[in-house]
Amino acid sequence: MSISNLLSVALSNEFNLATFIVGILSLGGVIVNIIVTASTNKKKRYTDLITSNRVITMQNLKQSLSNCFESIYSFMTPNANLNEEFKKFEYNKSQIFYAINYKGTAEIEMRETLNALNDLLFNYILNVQTITKKEKEKIFETLKTGIEYLQTYSTIYCKCEWERAKNTSLFGDKEKYDTESAVKNYLKEFETELKQKKEMLTNNTFSKIVKNKN
């Protein structure tokens, strides 16, 4: 075989080897891209699921709060079925507790206020036959204050949770949304009003409104 033929074969083999290597590298790039894309899509699906579930939870929370308020107002109407309305209140209260967290400022206030209203409603049923008109008016006034107090906290809480869901949908885990800081920031606008309502609720438990009827 001539030298020129040998060079031709060698160059051909080198070309084939180079082509093979390039092909392997390209295939490797495709495989890596597929893995990265699949991982990204999986994270996105997980993020979308979390966001969707939280949105649904907030919708259910708002509905349960509305149902609680409706039951409380029913106590103030003549001929209301107090036992039935109290059962509805307790059920919706449990749904609210299920929907909220247990460590934030808004969640704590919502939970404590609902428990205080629960106690007021329960004792009202037990003593409704002996409560005076003046005591009844004070109880109803306290219940209305409790509703207003809850409305403020729940509105701020839901607003911040919507913002957190939106943030998670846009950025995933890359940018954390500080719900607690956001809640406290919104609460500054209502600080004086909430403090007054809190004092009113604290000073108007059933035992303080209705003496010797526990």
Domain ranges of the chain: 59-209
Q: Which amino acid does the sequence have at 133?
A: K
Q: Which two tokens stand for residue 161?
A: 């949770």
pTM: 0.74
Give the burial string for 2-18 (b: 16+ CB within 10 Å, else e): eeeeeeeeeeeeeeeee
Given this model, what pLDDT does residue 178 score? 86
Give the pair of three-digit tokens for residue 66: 């509305």
From residue 47, give the alpha-carbon distance in Å to each of 55, 107, 157, 170, 198. Answer: 12, 24, 21, 9, 37
Instruction: Answer for the pair 72, 116: CB distance below 8 angstroms, yes or no.
Output: no
CB 50 within 8 A of CB 168: yes
- 10-residue block means of pLDDT along the chain (214 residues)? 50 53 58 55 53 79 94 92 96 93 88 96 94 94 96 92 79 73 92 94 91 58
**120, 138 contact by CB (below 8 A):** no
Answer for the pair 61, 100: CB distance below 8 angstroms, yes or no. Answer: yes
The crossing angle, in degrees rounded to 10, of helices 133-171 and 105-127 is 150
Distance between CA 161 and CA 155 in Å, rounded? 10
Q: Which is nearest to 210 in space by CA: 77, 149, 145, 119?
A: 119
